[in-house]
Structure 1
Amino acid sequence: MNYRIFGKCGWAVSEVGFGAWAIGGSWGKVQEDDAVAALHRAIDCGLNFIDTADVYGDGRSEKIVSKVLKERKERVYVATKAGRRLSPHVADGYNRENLNAFVDRSLKNLEVETIDLLQLHCPPTEVYYRPEVFEVLDDMVKQGKLQNYGVSVEKVEEGLKAIEYPGVKSVQIIFNIFRQRPTELFFAECRKRRVAVIARVPLASGLLSGKMTKETTFPPDDHRNYNRFGQAFDRGETFAGVDYEKGLHAVEELRNLTPGGFNLTQFALKWILMFPEVSVVIPGAKNPLQAEDNAKASSLPPLGEKVMEEIQKIYETSIKQDVHHRW
């Protein structure tokens, strides 16, 4: 496992981390024993960064992470999120009272006295234009509830606005072969300000694993069933906003480029890791085999220049027009 410096925090984090959305909910049923085993295997493979949120399974994900870490001696950095418990999810809800209540709940779920990294959880765009919200987070750092804070964003523009606040240490953003816009300006600004970048939805909700077909079906409680057109939350969270059938076609083109020794999942993860501005990529895993498979992407050789160019062509011709300027 290779490690990268996590921006101004100075942490040496595994470049492949663990995204803990699926073990909480919204991805079909995952047994707790499988979730626990997946996390243990990930840590065995050298992963030391876990990303979760208070709404993943209504706290289930945070509690499973806590259970596993009590059994480990390794230093593992845990990032969680706050804000999506609001109903309605509006900018005015991001106030001192609510944020403190959310953080207190996460501290209890994680069974810790301080949170390594708290992220605002894809708040409405207006929140980024309210300095008082970030002052609340600064106060929580002073109180010791948080070690650091950052944001999880839907749009590049939100990320660019967020990093104007000096306390923002990280930005979590969708970045994968199907969502390439962050490379244009956002990465350069993060590099300049030493802001860590967490690449989420790295496999476009599994599309880039190459395991799906036109006949694939998803359980009713899986967002890939109920949020394809943004019915429940931002469309960009499901299949990275890409039309499912267009995505399947592009994946078949990518399959032909996959080097020997790689599977398609590792190929997609390695593409992300080719960008030094990425601090950590956070694929999910529902079982130990998936966790190990993801981790192996770190030790595989870099992708060649020609392959990177061919990937770019597929994006330009098949995907870009549908997603590039939306997010």
Structure 2
Amino acid sequence: MEYTIFGKTGLKVSKLGLGGAPLAGDFGATDEDEVQLMIHEAIDSGINFIDTAPLYGKGESERRIGKAITDRREQVVLASKAVRSDMRYDYETTIRSVEDSLRRLKTDWIDIMQIHDVETQPFELLVNETLPALEKLRQDGKVRFLGVTTRNLPLLLKYMATDKFDSIQFYARYMLLDNTAKDEVIPLAKEMNLGVVNGSVLGMGILADAPASFLKEEIRLNGLARMEKLAFLRRTEPKGLIEPAMRFSLSNPDIQVTLTGTASLAALRTNLSYCDGKGLEPEEMKEVYALFQGQPLFD
């Protein structure tokens, strides 16, 4: 496992992180016993960054992670989020959301508390209520560092400009099908010394030949058309774009954590095998960047 320093937080983090979204069945049926085994194997294999949210399984992801790390809390850099996109992110709701997360995760502190999917809430509300609530929780020692998450890159830049955050997280914006985060967001994060978390590097399942059922038909077809242009990256094994997709993100020195979202031991082991420091060939990188330069796949 490779490790790096998570921006100005100073935390030492594994380049591969465990994403909590699939752990509670949001993307298909899961077996709780296997999930517990998978979390333990992830930690035993060197993964020390775990990311979750109250939204995932309406708290079930946090509960399962809390159960798994009860006796291993010191081994984990734990990231969660506030609030849930079906709620209003006012001061009181933010405080309650984090307190509930602490209870489900069976911990006294969360290392990185991120504002979840900021595109769902008014900017003024988040600045005037959500952030002050998180600052209060930080003063109380219940959270250590603050982050912000969204797929909307112009909005992410706006939040980065407040200089209130220690980390950022985007998803499906630095991957083989859409690398738009490399143009402004990642360079600015490097300049500001922010920790960077990259999610959904398989493009909502498109790069795994298993597009998520909730994807719009137009996006799914566009993604599949882009995959055809990436055929030069295909390996001989089934679902051959998974490996290059993972290596594309893992090898970027300005992305501290690449999340793998899985509830399967087999998939975890496969993704761990890509943590050897090897990326795409320079000519392959040039071609990938040129193919879709400035062309986002998702809204």
The TM-score with structure 2 as length reference comes to 0.89
Aligned residue for 1:245? Answer: 221
Q: 2:102 & 2:116 partners in 1: Cα distance? A: 16
> How much has 1:260 moved relative to structure 2?
7.7
Partner in structure 2 of residue 2 of structure 1 = 2
1:56 is matched with 56
Per the alignment, residue 249 of structure 2 pairs with 272
Taking the aligned partners of 1:205 and 1:71, their CA distance within structure 2 comes to 33
Q: Does residue 228 of the first structure (1) align with residue 215 of the second (2)? A: yes
> How many Å separate the matches in 2 of 1:51 and 1:257?
29
How much has 1:60 moved relative to structure 2? 0.8
Q: Which aligned pairs between 1:196-215 and structure 2 lie closer than 5 A?
A: 196-209=195-208, 211-212=209-210
Cα root mean square deviation, aligned: 2.4
Contact 1:137 1:149 in 2 (8 A): yes
Give 1:85 deviation, angstroms: 5.4
Task: For residues 183-233 of structure 1, give each alpha carbon's deviation from its aligned partner in whole angstroms, at most 9, with x where no partner exists.
Answer: 111111111111111101111122112x34xxx8xxxxxxx22x223xxxx
Matches for 1:291-310 after TM superposition, within 5 Å: 291-310=268-287
> 1:232 maps to what in 2?
none
CA distance in 1, matches of 2:296, 2:17: 29
Q: 1-side partners of 2:13 and 2:258: how far apart?
A: 10
Unaligned runs of 5+ in 2: none
1:242, distance to aligned residue in structure 2 (A): 6.8
Take 2:121 and 2:82, find their aligned partners in 1: how far apart are those partners? 16
**Residues 52-82 of structure 1 deviation map (CA, whole Å, 9 limit, x = unaligned):** 0012111110011111112547611111111
CA contact (8 A) 1:4 1:279 kept: yes
2:192: which partner in 1?
A: 193
Aligned to 2:115: 120
Percent identity, aligned pairs only, is 27
Q: 1:163 to 1:61 in 2, by over 3 A?
A: same
**Structure 1 residues 58 and 73: alpha-carbon distance in aligned structure 2, compared to 1, 3 A threshold:** closer
Residue 269 of structure 1 aligns to a residue in which SS?
helix
CA distance in 2, matches of 1:104, 1:202: 30
Unpaired stretches in structure 1, ≥5 consecutive residues: 88-92, 217-223, 230-240
Equivalent residue number for residue 235 of structure 1 = none
Q: Figure out how many residues of one structure are paired with residues of the other and give that number.
A: 294
- The verdict on how the C-alpha distance between 1:242 and 1:114 changes in structure 2, with shifts beyond 3 A counting, is farther
